[in-house]
Amino acid sequence: MNIQESTQKYDQPLTSVRWEGDSLQLLDQRLLPETIDMKNLTTPEEVWKAIHSMVVRGAPAIGIAAAYGVVLGAKQYTGGDKLEWLQQIEQVCAYLATSRPTAVNLFWALDRMKNKASRLAASEDGISGFYGALLAEAASIQAEDEEVCRLIGEHALPLLSDGMGILTHCNAGGLATAKYGTATAPMYLAHEKGMKLKVYADETRPVLQGARLTAFELQQAGIDVTLLCDNMAGMVMSKGWVQAVIVGTDRVAANGDVANKIGTYSLAVLAKAHNIPFYVACPLSTIDLNTASGELIPIEERPEHEITEGFGKRTAPQGIKVYNPAFDVTPNEWVTAIITEKGIVRAPYKDNLAALFR
Ligand SMILES: CSC[C@H]1O[C@H](OP(=O)(O)O)[C@H](O)[C@@H]1O
């Protein structure tokens, strides 16, 4: 366990997921911003728990961590039978798929690892090379995500201008991806080009990913960021401080409905009311053409204590009824455009999203 104070300025953005030697290092995002603690994981069970408890969170980061979780499962196989090895990999994938239900990147990454394992098992290659081949596949998923996020930022840049106010929600930042983030990618690239943006970050109750993660990473990068309570978004929009809303997503349905952190739908309605564009930034790995529309997206409900406790004490009466959905769905008609690594997609989303995969 490596604990450091996070008050120091870091030269490089923090990496939330890192493979080192033959184990997985995860930055415990539950402890940010005050503590930097890298956890060392060596089993799929530890990866499942890390995803479920949000040690690692954010759709792409969850997928990358799960991919390395499959590699840890492959390391556990000591036999010599290819079919038996494949069955073990398929069992690990099925197990890791139960860690969280909404972010489609988890299932996308596991399917990619399962397909790689199937090709290996069907090949003439010796089983001794399978572990290395799976590790290379997981590393490719991570490396590709970094490039994909950078491209999302590049495609978003024409939507931005010097001095612009951008409001974002939760953390769709470098900590939620391999690097750059999705919603934050244009902010980082604009900053690199000397563009002055004013970012407003919703704290994002109840887990405070905006306050603890987005505000932290943008401040570390030297980007002008102002922290808001979630209930302030309407007011700052009414003051004319916001010229665009940019958020990430955990799953885009085939018709363009968007599942994202709870509170996103409210922002979309507020943005429409103030005639402010509402952009969703996401990689193709977060677009799920197999889910026709938003009401079919499974919405995770999380533990009550995330709402009834905070700031080191109970913040609600004992026994109070609690509803704690971690996500909501924004209907596609409220979405101005979806920014992907292949470019900006606008309505009609069903046809235009499908065209991305042709
Ligand atoms: C770039 S995906 C980020 C996405 O994931 C977050 O959810 P969680 O923190 O619960 O994993 C949130 O919905 C972000 O928009």
Ligand 1 binding pocket includes 59 (Cβ within 6 Å): yes
ipTM, two decimals: 0.99
pLDDT digits (tens, 9 = 90+) for 92-134: 999 999 999 999 999 999 999 999 999 999 999 999 999 999 9
Helix (H, G, I), strand (E, B) or coil at 80: coil
Q: Whose CA is nearest to atom 8 of ligand 1?
A: 58
pLDDT band at 1 (very low <50, low <70, confident <90, very high): very low
- Give the integer Cα–Cα distance in Å for 100 and 37: 22
pLDDT digits (tens, 9 = 90+) for 233-281: 999 999 999 999 999 999 999 999 999 999 999 999 999 999 999 999 9
What pLDDT score was predicted for residue 131?
97
> Which residues make up each annotated binding site for substrate?
57-59, 100, 209, 260-261
CB atoms within 10 A of CB 352: 16
| Percent of residues, the chain, with pLDDT higher than 70 | 98
The pTM (predicted TM-score) of the whole model is 0.97
| Residue 317, both tokens | 């009466």
**CB proximity list for 248: less than 8 A, separation 6 or greater:** 58, 59, 170, 171, 172, 176, 181, 182, 183, 260, 280, 281, 282
CA 238 to ligand 1 center in whole angstroms:
26
Ligand 1 binding pocket includes 173 (Cβ within 6 Å): no
pLDDT band at 4 (very low <50, low <70, confident <90, very high): low
What pLDDT score was predicted for residue 3?
47
Strands (E), 2-69: 2-5, 17-20, 23-27, 35-41
pLDDT band at 208 (very low <50, low <70, confident <90, very high): very high
Mean pLDDT of 196-220: 98
pLDDT digits (tens, 9 = 90+) for 50-93: 999 999 999 999 999 999 999 999 999 999 999 999 999 999 99
| Strand-by-strand arrangement of the 251-253 sheet | 287-288, 251-253, 258-261, 327-330
pLDDT band at 7 (very low <50, low <70, confident <90, very high): low
pLDDT digits (tens, 9 = 90+) for 277-301: 999 999 999 999 999 999 999 999 9
Ligand 1 binding pocket includes 60 (Cβ within 6 Å): yes
Ligand 1 binding pocket includes 58 (Cβ within 6 Å): yes
Ligand 1 binding pocket includes 100 (Cβ within 6 Å): no
| Residue 127, both tokens | 């089983």
Ligand 1 binding pocket includes 170 (Cβ within 6 Å): yes
> What number does the ligand 1 atom closest to the CA of 209 have?
9
Strands 23-27 and 17-20: antiparallel
Active site residue ranges:
250
| Percent of residues, the chain, with pLDDT higher than 90 | 95
Q: Whose CA is nearest to atom 5 of ligand 1?
A: 58
Question: Which H or E element spans position 225?
Answer: strand 225-228
Name 24's bridge partners: 19, 41
CA 172 to ligand 1 center in whole angstroms:
6
> What number does the ligand 1 atom closest to the CA of 181 have?
1
- Indicate the top mutation candidate among 249, 306, 330 to test ligand 1's pocket, ranked by most ligand atoms within 8 A of CB: 249
